[in-house]
């Protein structure tokens, strides 16, 4: 993951979809004050004005410090181990991607908050604590981007990163997770789902086992993520 991903995601895709929604009086840009600086920032960056400041669950600052430390250890680990076993690399990929996104977006939020003097919605809600697919995709993972790119073609990101023709594996990954999330929600509403509830630990293991296993072959391999692990080192 590098500058190509962030520029393609924010400037090419995210900004375009926000402007399309704005043209129809929809989306996060519609109710912004008539200030050019704010308009540019809220168009090009994955940020949104905080609607209910009192309802936000503040995470202690030391938690973010731990994330930065883990990310630094991962980078050093990649530098010293260029030929990691495939199983270990598959396990580290989701952690690496999440921490990179979390740190980068947190820095953007911090700078924009200081510059514009306004409170912003959080981009993540501790996704590693998700105990279901509905919890992960609906309430915890990359909230700003997912709320604006519900119908975006992720194959565009594939092209920007690899310069290869789309293989549609990324689309298959998100369609599969979407279908399984719908099925999960339907099962929860049945008598069986309401009567038999898994323990949080078991539910957490099943959720992350599914996300990591499907992501390993349908998300990271098409993006050739190994190349970006090496570039970062």
Report the distance separating Cα 197 and Cα 225, nearest Å: 36
Q: How far is CA 51 from CA 28, 56, 106, 222, in A?
A: 11, 10, 18, 37
Rounded to 10 degrees, what is the CA torsion of 139, 127, 56, 179?
A: 0
Across 23-27, 121-125, 154-158, 227-231, which has the greatest mean pLDDT?
121-125
Report the distance separating Cα 123 and Cα 225, nearest Å: 23
The pTM for the full model equals 0.75
Rg (the chain; Cα; Å): 19
- Mean pLDDT of all residues in 209-213: 90
DSSP annotation of 49: B
- Of 23-27, 31-35, 98-102, 117-121, the one with minimum mean pLDDT is 31-35
Helix (H) or strand (E) holding 4: helix 3-7
Higher pLDDT, 30 or 185: 185
Please report how many Cα atoms fall inside a 13 Å half-sphere around the Cα of residue 93, on the Cβ side: 26
With CA atoms as reference, report the closest residue to 132 among 216, 210, 212, 225. 210
pLDDT band with cut points at 50, 70 and 90 for residue 134: very high
Residue by residue, DSSP assigns 56-94 as: --PPPHHHHHHHHHHHHHHHHHHHH-SS--HHHHHHHHH
Residues comprising the chain, all counted: 233
Q: Quick: pLDDT tens for 90-100.
A: 778 888 888 98
With CA atoms as reference, report the closest residue to 14 among 194, 200, 158, 146. 146
Per-residue tokens: 120: 């912003």
With CA atoms as reference, report the closest residue to 16 among 143, 162, 157. 157
User: Mean of the per-residue pLDDT values for the chain?
Assistant: 77
Helix (H/G/I), strand (E/B), else coil: 198: coil
pLDDT band with cut points at 50, 70 and 90 for residue 233: very low
Residue 149 clears pLDDT 60, i.e. is over it: no
- Mean pLDDT of all residues in 32-41: 77
Q: What angle do CA 183, 184, 189 make, to 5 degrees?
A: 95
Across 78-82, 135-139, 161-165, which has the greatest mean pLDDT?
135-139
Report the distance separating Cα 58 and Cα 156, nearest Å: 34
Q: What percent of the chain has a predicted confidence (pLDDT) above 70?
A: 72
Q: What percent of the chain has a predicted confidence (pLDDT) above 90?
A: 15
- Of 63-67, 83-87, 101-105, the one with minimum mean pLDDT is 83-87
């Amino acid at each position: 993951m590098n500058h190509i991903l962030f520029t393609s995601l924010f400037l090419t895709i995210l900004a375009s979809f926000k402007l399309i929604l704005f043209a129809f009086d929809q989306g996060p840009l519609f109710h912004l004050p008539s200030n050019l600086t704010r308009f540019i920032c809220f168009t090009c960056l994955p940020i949104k004005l905080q609607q209910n400041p009192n309802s936000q669950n503040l995470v202690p600052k030391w938690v973010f410090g731990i994330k930065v430390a883990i990310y630094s250890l991962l980078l050093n680990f990649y530098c010293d181990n260029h030929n990691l076993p495939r199983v270990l690399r598959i396990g580290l990929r989701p952690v690496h991607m999440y921490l990179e996104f979390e740190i980068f977006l947190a820095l953007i939020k911090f700078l924009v908050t200081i510059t514009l003097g306004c409170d912003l919605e959080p981009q993540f809600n501790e996704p590693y604590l998700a105990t279901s697919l509905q919890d992960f995709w609906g309430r915890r993972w990359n909230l700003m981007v997912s709320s604006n790119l519900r119908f975006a073609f992720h194959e565009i990101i594939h092209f920007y990163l690899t310069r290869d023709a789309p293989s549609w594996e990324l689309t298959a990954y998100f369609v599969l997770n979407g279908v399984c999330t719908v099925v999960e929600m339907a099962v929860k509403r049945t008598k069986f789902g309401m009567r038999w509830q898994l323990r949080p630990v078991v539910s957490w293991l099943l959720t992350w086992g599914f996300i990591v296993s499907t992501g390993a072959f349908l998300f990271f391999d098409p993006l050739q993520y190994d190349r970006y692990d090496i570039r970062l080192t």
